[in-house]
A and B are shown apart, each in its own frame.
Chain A
């Protein structure tokens, strides 16, 4: 019994990282994904901020899920999410003003990030707090991975650095397009292409006679 419950919790955790990855599979929260991933540092801070809001609000939503009347649940969720966004907003401002200025309005816009409201509505309001928070943590990690994947590629090609460390020496030719909005779309498209190709290959292998074993 306990083993099964543990396996299920672990599955909830893994779901967001791989099978239901918010960026690469569900393609949710595209606004911050495309806008702030010009560098790996920006991507990481955005991901962590969203992760904090997601985990805390999912836990709180799950705690009060039996008290809130159905008719006002969305408004309640938004108030909860907005509270945590305000906390994150002030924390980032206090910790690093440079990051705060680089992320700009997108910190406040976490409140309308569809991953957070989506998880609160679809998962946290139907599950006990621990499960909801584990699932939210998995989703957050998946989101951070997604943002980092974009931010790293765009920073390496667009500025020749990774987390601010120069990779190619002084004579590097930056690809200006990568730090512009089209670069975000192109890199996101390339990652989606890669993941759908992997998925298709896996499906083909499973569909093949005797597939899934060996080979």
Chain B
């Protein structure tokens, strides 16, 4: 076999990690969250998770096979996109709209940029932004959790025919003697009715009949597993939650009509977004200072959108804006190489040695995304 010399740029020190391993672990850590979501909302949630993930996988397979995108199905990245997307959608979201969201996530969020590792925005959030713009009424229709008979009966809006409007969930709930307020999310309730939900209800999401997603505590636990095993950088969620909490606390001090920081932190999709979506490796900065800046930007933007815009929830747009700012953030937070700028500048910009969590996509055994690298594959 012909010996080949490989010339590539830094980093040269690599961890024994592969894309597949990281992605598979994220899927494992999402399993309890999905299970809890199904426990809350029954078979509608299960069907939603299955359909959205299947749509993502089918779209991924179509794009990979047609050669328009790099990667493969076995790297689990499309599975993660599907699971996260399903978790951000209301449980009674019509299944055909969920399929549209899944295809849009992979097509507009991923294949357009060239596949895994090349995407600018988090694909799951691109899919959600698409359906939010396409079906604003359906995506705002929540149903309360822990309804009786949720394991035997679909939420009627789930089973809408393709291209057809979903059945009215409000009438269905009325027949079960729930008032309209029970099916508003805690954030919408606060924004439009001025009613606060108790913090412990929000944190565990275990009390009956509130329209919230999986428990923030459970998500944090699953995220802690990823952070401890270093599959995810702890700085980003800490920065997102910290800055959101700080911003909410300051605004609460200035004007008591805004809720306190704990309500902001434990409601809506903030914890899910901070732990699983803002930390997407391809779309977040790699420099440690950049991570703080990026997380801070997302946290503050979330609070600003929630408080001062027409939308009750702002995590999705905040993360998408953070994704867009990532190249700029990386540029301004470039670490100074060791030994450079020792004199006056040394105090101003901290210098980092190679970050231990630095994960390269080109390590041994990983599938190289670009075709032109394939000829190096056979080296000993």
B-contacting residues of A (Cβ < 8 Å)?
A: 160, 168, 171-173, 175-178, 180, 182, 186, 189
> Given A168-B163, A171-B164, A171-B165, do A176 and B135 touch, yes or no (CB 8 Å)?
yes
In chain A, what residue has the closest Cβ to B167? A171
Q: How far is the CB of B351 from chain A (nearest CB, A)?
A: 43
B residues 121-144 in Cβ contact with A at 8 Å = 130, 133-136, 138
CB <8 Å contact, A173 and B160? yes
B residues 293-330 in Cβ contact with A at 8 Å = none
Whether, in the assembled complex, B166 has its beta carbon less than 8 Å from a beta carbon of chain A, the answer is yes
Whether, in the assembled complex, B108 has its beta carbon less than 8 Å from a beta carbon of chain A, the answer is yes
In this complex, the interface size class of chain B, counting residues with CB under 8 Å from chain A, is 10 to 19
Q: How far is the CB of B340 from chain A (nearest CB, A)?
A: 43
Chain A residues, CB < 8 A from B133: 176-177, 180, 182
A177 to B133 alpha-carbon distance, docked (Å): 5
Specify which of A168, A171, A172, A177 is in contact with B134 (CB 8 Å cutoff).
A177
CB <8 Å contact, B164 and A177? no
CB <8 Å contact, B163 and A176? no
Chain A residues, CB < 8 A from B130: 177
In chain A, what residue has the closest Cβ to B100? A175
CB <8 Å contact, A173 and B136? no
> Given A178-B134, A182-B133, do A173 and B108 touch, yes or no (CB 8 Å)?
no
Q: How far is the CB of A191 from chain B (nearest CB, A)?
A: 14
A186 to B136 alpha-carbon distance, docked (Å): 18
CB <8 Å contact, B108 and A172? no
Chain A residues, CB < 8 A from B164: 168, 171-173
A77 to B337 alpha-carbon distance, docked (Å): 59
Q: List 24 A-B contacts (CB under 8 A).
A: A160-B163, A168-B163, A168-B164, A171-B161, A171-B165, A173-B97, A173-B135, A173-B160, A173-B163, A173-B164, A173-B165, A175-B134, A175-B135, A176-B133, A176-B134, A176-B135, A177-B130, A177-B133, A177-B134, A178-B134, A180-B133, A182-B133, A186-B108, A189-B112
A173 to B112 alpha-carbon distance, docked (Å): 27
A42 to B160 alpha-carbon distance, docked (Å): 31
In chain B, what residue has the closest Cβ to A189? B112
A176 to B97 alpha-carbon distance, docked (Å): 13
Q: How far is the CB of A41 from chain B (nearest CB, A)?
A: 21
CB <8 Å contact, B136 and A172? no
Chain A residues, CB < 8 A from B165: 171-173
A195 to B94 alpha-carbon distance, docked (Å): 32
B residues 322-344 in Cβ contact with A at 8 Å = none
Chain A residues, CB < 8 A from B138: 173
